[in-house]
Amino acid sequence: MTKTLNIKAVAAVVGIALALSLGLGFAVQSAGAQSMSMSQLVDLFIQLGIIAPDKAAAAQAAVTTSTTSSMGTTYTRDLTVGSTGADVTALQMMLGVSPATGYFGSITKAAVTQYQAQNGIPATGYFGPLTRAKVNASVVVTTTTTTTTTGGVMTGSGEGFLDDIEELSSVSTEEVGEDEEDVQVLGLEMIAEDADQQIDRVIVDILTPTGNDDLEDLITDVSVWLDDELLGRMDVEDGSHDRTADEYTFRFTGLDGVIEEGDLAELFVAVSGVSNLDGTDSGDGWTARIPANGIRAVSPNGTDDFYPSTLISEAFTVETFASANSIELAVAKDSSSPDTQSVEVDDSDDTDGVELLVFRLNADGSDIEVNDIPVLFTISSTTAQVSSVANTVTLEIDGEEFSETVITTGGATRIVTFDDLDLTIEDGDTVTVVVTADINDLDTGVSFDSGTSLKAELTSTQVDAIDAEDESGEDITDADATGTALGEEQSFYADGVSIEFVSATEVVSDTADGETNDRGTYTLRFNVTSFGADAYIASTTASTSAAGTQGVEWSIIGNAFTGTETANLTSSGDEETASFLVEDGQTEEFVLTVVLVNTAGTAGFYGIQVDTVRFNESNSGAIADYTAVTSATGLPDDIETDEVNLET
């Protein structure tokens, strides 16, 4: 790699260095701003008779290991549009204006304006005393002969360069979210070889989609970082804008990012999203790039080089906060939510706080503020309305209650919206919500009939209607609110039974020795608790498909069954005539045993489930007088066995 030095910058250095190393006393001056390689410079001194030819190697070594150097031109006059000369050329090179023509035109004025805005100088584009003083102060650097680096200051006098420059794949097609700061959209890694390297200038282009030249509607600023150190930041309005090319250019000059010799460093370009992004402006089509020779790095001896050899670019998108952060408000029924069951209520006083549904709300991608939650309430009666069963419904969230009165109009369904919740769920957190109801007294003919059920749900319609905002203030959309929470029927009785699943077993065996037909023996255990009065459970049992009405009815689940079936019902309670007694407030265990023999059908998987349990307050009257408890009126839907294979 061939390096060049500015004679004006090193003439004094050469004189001093040669005098020290060769014992020669002289002073060297240069009136021009020519650029020469180090070997050409030494040849010049030989031609001038300053040093002897046999001292050339020592002279070059003395210069390359020595002392004080100046990195640039000292500016002595004001410059403006129309100015020409070598100092204009030097200024253009410093500011990254290409080509450096030596003529101060509109492009140079824009670059000066940009430099002034970066450095707290009135951005007029006029290169006057204030700007001149700032530039002169920044381009003169003193270095000393040493091999150590302290506090990020470039040391050593060696000539170095940047090597192994590669784009970082980790910064690829980034999403810049609304109000997000310093999102990395382009990254490079590089190694400083042979000497420390100072990143002195970086040029960044932002290309906009064709016909869209309003970059300020999407991002507020562009910044350049070396590892985690901020090198420079520019507001969008301070960049130069080429409307024809749909391109903004940001020139970061006078930077002080040092990469120590042998170190691997990462250079990033970052942008910040506006706080009030219009959704119509978001989307694809934006590109960040560093043009060829857009990075200038300076060695301790004053030589500078330009990188990369070809432009490097990366696409990025600008999205609303929700889109960029994949925000989701997830709704799900909690495992503690009550199953279908019978609930004891009073026949003369209201029963408060009956639990209908427990569900969870999870925030992902942002803190989410929930304002309103609608809940759908449905009763089983076709002759009453929701307000006939429940007069008040409540949400309980982290110990705080939000209650609403149920409107006394409408039919069997009612959507109740719990508003002004002011509930904030932090990103990644989950809150549990409990839905309860105050149930009216069960006075037949006045409010509702015994056995009427009520359930609470958040279907997809209610989930979509939740009023919530992300931390940027944007509304959570239908697509961001997911899941459902479907509560089960809670049936209300003043006198009745509560049924609970206990266990199930399935045993497969041959019908007889040497036979291949399988026998499946299914055993279901469930508890029956009476409340309000004694309960009599009819002791007869048969499959639901059989003719007649039975005390416990069951059905076969799985494949269609065409073999033989038998069943038997027992109870731990006292056996009365055609009934089992469950005394008021007591619990008795019932055992249903069903045997299936697959003699006429094909091999298949079969199981058993309980469909109906009938009870009565007395052990008299026809079975038709008994009350049927089904899945719609309080029978849990989990009283069933697994399905097992029965072969023929």
- Dump pLDDT digits (tens) for 493-531: 989 999 999 999 999 987 665 556 789 999 999 999 999
Beta bridge partners of 248: 206, 241
* Mean pLDDT, residues 616-627 taken together: 87
Residue 432, pLDDT > 90, answer yes
Residue 79 confidence class, pLDDT cut points 50, 70, 90: very high
Cis peptide leading into residue 99 (ω within 30°): yes
DSSP string for 251-270: EE-S--EEE-TT-EEEEEEE
Beta bridge partners of 575: 580
Q: Which amino acid is at 514?
A: G
Residue 648, pLDDT > 90, answer no
Q: Report the relative pairing of strands 490-493 and 467-470 from DSSP bridges.
A: unpaired
Exposure string of 301-331, with b = 16+ CB inside 10 Å and e = fewer, is bbbbbbbbeeebebbbbbbbbbbbbebbbeb
pTM for this predicted structure: 0.53
- Do the beta carbons of residue 167 and residue 190 sit within 8 Å? no
Q: Does 173 or 468 have the greater pLDDT score? A: 468
SS3 label, residue 27:
coil
Residue 56, pLDDT > 60, answer no
Residue 267, pLDDT > 80, answer yes
- 328-493 CATH pick, 1.10.10, 1.10.8, 2.60.40, 3.30.70: 2.60.40
* Mean pLDDT, residues 90-105 taken together: 87
What is the per-residue pLDDT for 505? 97
- Do the beta carbons of residue 127 and residue 91 sit within 8 Å? yes
What is the per-residue pLDDT for 477? 85
Q: What topology is assigned to 161-323 in CATH? A: Immunoglobulin-like (2.60.40)
Q: Give pLDDT tens digits for 610-620.
A: 999 999 999 98
* Mean pLDDT, residues 124-151 taken together: 65
Residue 216, pLDDT > 80, answer yes
Residue 458, pLDDT > 90, answer yes
Q: Does 521 or 44 have the greater pLDDT score? A: 521
Long-range contacts of 538-547 (CB under 8 A, 24+ apart): 538/578, 538/579, 538/614, 538/615, 538/616, 538/623, 538/626, 539/569, 539/571, 539/575, 539/578, 539/579, 539/580, 540/569, 540/578, 540/623, 541/567, 541/568, 541/569, 541/592, 542/567, 543/567, 544/611, 544/612
What is the rounded distance in angstroms from the CA atom of residue 431 to the CA atom of residue 428?
10
Place of tokens 């100015």: 83
350 contacts: CB under 8 Å, gap ≥ 6: 391, 438, 439, 440, 441
Q: How many residues does the chain have?
A: 648
Exposure string of 126-148, with b = 16+ CB inside 10 Å and e = fewer, is bbbeebbebbeebbebebeeeee
Q: Give pLDDT tens digits for 298-307.
A: 999 888 899 9
* Mean pLDDT, residues 54-58 taken together: 48
% of the chain with per-residue pLDDT over 70: 81
3-state helix, strand, coil in the chain (%, to 5): 15, 45, 40
What is the per-residue pLDDT for 570? 96
Q: Which amino acid is at 201?
A: R
Nearest to 135 by CA among 147, 127, 144, 124: 127
Cα-based torsion angle of the residue sequence 302, 306, 307, 312 in order, rounded to the nearest 10 degrees: 140
Residue 2 exposed, middle or buried by CB count within 10 Å (0-12, 13-18, 19+): exposed
Q: Which amino acid is at 84?
A: T
What is the per-residue pLDDT for 577? 87
427 secondary structure, DSSP code: T
Q: Which amino acid is at 165?
A: I
- Do the beta carbons of residue 216 and residue 238 sit within 8 Å? no
What is the rounded distance in angstroms from the CA atom of residue 530 to the CA atom of residue 516?
45
What is the rounded distance in angstroms from the CA atom of residue 561 to the CA atom of residue 642?
15
Exposure string of 226-249, with b = 16+ CB inside 10 Å and e = fewer, is beeeebbbbebebbbbeeeebbbb
Residue 308, pLDDT > 80, answer yes
Domain boundaries, the chain: 5-64, 86-139, 161-323, 328-493, 496-646
538 contacts: CB under 8 Å, gap ≥ 6: 550, 551, 552, 578, 579, 614, 615, 616, 623, 626
- Do the beta carbons of residue 71 and residue 139 sit within 8 Å? yes
491 contacts: CB under 8 Å, gap ≥ 6: 340, 341, 342, 343, 380, 451, 452, 453, 629, 632, 633, 634
Place of tokens 């701003």: 33
310 contacts: CB under 8 Å, gap ≥ 6: 292
Query: Would you give the distance in Å from CA 198 to the centre of its chain?
Result: 37
pLDDT winner (highest mean) among 93-107, 172-186, 457-471, 590-604: 457-471
Where is 13: in which H helix or E strand?
Answer: helix 7-22
- Do the beta carbons of residue 181 and residue 259 sit within 8 Å? no
What is the per-residue pLDDT for 515? 59
610 contacts: CB under 8 Å, gap ≥ 6: 524, 526, 552, 553, 554, 592, 635, 639, 640
Residue 152, pLDDT > 60, answer no
**CB atoms < 10 A from the CB of 404, how many?**
14
